[in-house]
Structure 1
């Protein structure tokens, strides 16, 4: 019986959906699919300085983060990004705990996008 309980516990750990870290190229392919939303979890000031095209801003540190993002729970794919990928990873973990599925984290965040001169929209231009 003890072995069965341990086996069930280990199985439950490994059966949990993992947060997928993706690069910019893979993100672009996922964005081409229906029912995908791109969410910038940085602060409003960071978002207003520059952002990836077609993203929406929901500040991870805001009190209403979960309420604001809950309207996207039915989306097939949710891609999160931030400055470096760390904040969006923690946001993804929180969403996973709240029952969200198909959550992606952009590796390296906007720093990686800017470093590679990839397609992003600057609001300062």
Structure 2
């Protein structure tokens, strides 16, 4: 298993998946360049799978698609959902991140610095 999804995050993701109009929708998780630290997490829904480019797993009964090129950057990452008086949101704990920005959505690893956004 490349990533972990907690029970709280699973419940939230499953509720969000019900609202999607696509059939065979999957959670797509990965990274993209940008943010203050160089890399940002990418999380959304996608029905497309490319067997040459993607890793496909089922985690807590959620079909998950991850680009193969992102596996080394996010391996061991835990996705959680926290609820508080201000609302709720997903939290991402990546053991490979050596630097993270204050908001927690931008990071870099020892082997991948990404492309920091000069406007941060």
TM-score range, shorter chain: under 0.3
Q: TM-score, normalised by structure 1?
A: 0.25
Rg larger for: 1
In terms of fraction of residues, the more helix-rich structure is 1
